[in-house]
Structure formats: structure tokens, C-alpha cells
Amino acid sequence: MAYKLLALNIDGTILKPNGRLQKETKEAVEFVKQKGVYVTLLTSRDLLSARKIAKALKLDTAIIAFQGAMIGKSVDEKIYEALIPEERTFNIVHVLENYACNIRLMYERYSLANRKKVKKQLVAKTVLSSGDPFFYPTQFVDSLSDVLRDEPLAVPKIDVYFASEEEQKEAVAVLHEAFPTIDVITQPNGKIEIVAKGVSKLAGLKRLGQSLHVSLKDMVVIGDGLDDIPAIEAAGLGVAMGNASNEVKKAADWVTRSNEQLGVAYMVKEHFRKQQRPEFLHMLKMKQ
């Protein structure tokens, strides 16, 4: 099988636990590119910090960011965008401010967050999830709803970190009931991500594939998170990282090594080393 597209999750997949990008991973991506394979990033991160990772990998391709709410090479060169409208963003924030949680409005060039204190480890995760603050700055305010009342904002994604599991479950139930036009993605460690209805990594992958005329069966997806499962299941070859949960591994066709053990580089070596460039395969068919 000659695959045409490779989609890579970022955190927990191509990055080590300490956030570093390994030399072997860069070499593996370059190796796949030389095979004529389109390589993209498939992430919940914002487009700016994902673009920084792409630059380190020497990728000039469209990126699927914000859980699929934004696809493009940059914020100025977008293929697709799905925003939560201004009024709905305000109403969601107004509901969430009744709970002990950190709320982060993920805009295309920056994030806007409240100063609500929750567990220390959750605050740390909030900071780490934002990417490089130089590329994607965060502004903290006392009341998000007060700011939005004066300066309305439509956003691709809202990240929320809860102080307790009970409050998280209650808030998710309220959001589902009050806002049928959004999707809520539950993540580990008390985090949820709110996007417009129909937004997902898989939907983003389909949209990018349509623009490139590449079907899902011609794609390889490598990931480690629960939000990667639909894309892993739908791809021609779905790969789970060794550090992924059992649920992700069960959904995959193949399980590679962990991100600490060069999982992406190992998978590429095993599955792409015999694949030839499409031009070469076409030439062989012509000779036959």
C-alpha cells in the first residue's frame, strides 16, 4: 500500500514528555517527504505554536489545528475555519464562570484567560498547553464576561480546566443541554475543550484530504490521545503511540514505541522504507 498523507499529533506523539523534538523524528519526517508523502500536523494546539513545530520539521504544508477548527499554513492562509460566534462565546463563558475553573479563549493569535485559581497541577498544565508564549501570548483578566461584553470575540476553541471532577461533569451536562450547537471534548486531568458542532480532528483530516484529493484510506495517522481515536480508526493505517492509553491502542491497526523511545521514527522506518515515490510507481505501470 502506497500512502499519500501522514498526519502526526504533536503533544505525546512527535514531542518527548519534556516538550523536545528529537533529531531522529525530524529525519523521519524528511525521509517520508522524500517519498512524496504529504506530511501534516493534527493537533488541539493553536495554529501559531503548531506552525512553530512545523517549521522545526521543515514542513510548509497545511496544519489541522484547534481540534480541526482551523486548517491552513498560517492564520493568514487558511483553508477552513469554524468559529464559535461572539454571542455564544459570551453565553458559554457566563455559564462557566459559575464553576471553579480556568477558562481560556483560544483565539487565532492569542488566548484570553481568567485568573480563577484551581489545583496547582491544573494551572501548570494550562500554562504548558499554550505552547510558546512568544508565538501565542496569553492575556489574563479578572472577569472574562466583563471583557467580552465590551469587546465581543468569536473563537475556534475554548479550553477549560476544572478544580474537581464533580464540577466538570456538572458543567459538561449543563453545556450539552444549553448549547446544542457546540461539541465538548473531554480530556484527562479535568480538562474539556469546546468547539463548534461537527469540529473534530477527523473532520479536519477529511477536509484537508478533500482539498488535496486524498482519501482517508490513503492516509496514515499517528496519535496518542482519546481525541485521536476517530482519525486513527478511519485512516488507511491508524497508529497508536506506545505511551497511549489502552483505549487508543485498541483502536489502532499498529502500535509503535513511545514518544520517549522514538515511536514516530520507528514507525516510519518500519512502514515507509519500501514505499516508492508515486512518480516512480506510475512510470513502472507505463512500462508494463
Instruction: Say yes or no to pLDDT of 259 above 50.
Output: yes
**Residue from 40, 131, 133 nearest 79 by CA:** 40
Mean pLDDT of 224-240: 97
**What letter represents residue 8's amino acid?**
L
- CATH number for the domain whose boundaries are 5-81+199-286: 3.40.50.1000
Dist. CA 57–CA 25, nearest whole Å: 8
**pLDDT band for position 189 (50/70/90)?**
confident
Residue with cell 512502514: 271
CATH 3.90.960.10 fits 86-196, yes or no: no
Residue with cell 512500462: 287
Q: What confidence score (pLDDT) does residue 135 get?
A: 65
Residue 190 DSSP code: T
Instruction: Say yes or no to pLDDT of 129 above 50.
Output: no
Mean pLDDT of 87-102: 96
**pLDDT band for position 44 (50/70/90)?**
very high
> Where do the structural domains in the chain lie, given as residue ranges?
5-81+199-286, 86-196
CA dist 102 → 119, 147, 178, 230 (Å): 10, 16, 20, 27
0.85 surpassed by pTM: yes
**What letter represents residue 3's amino acid?**
Y
Instruction: Tell which wins on pLDDT, 216 or 274.
Output: 216
Q: What is the dihedral of CA 206, 240, 50, 164, to 10 degrees?
A: 100
Dist. CA 181–CA 96, nearest whole Å: 16
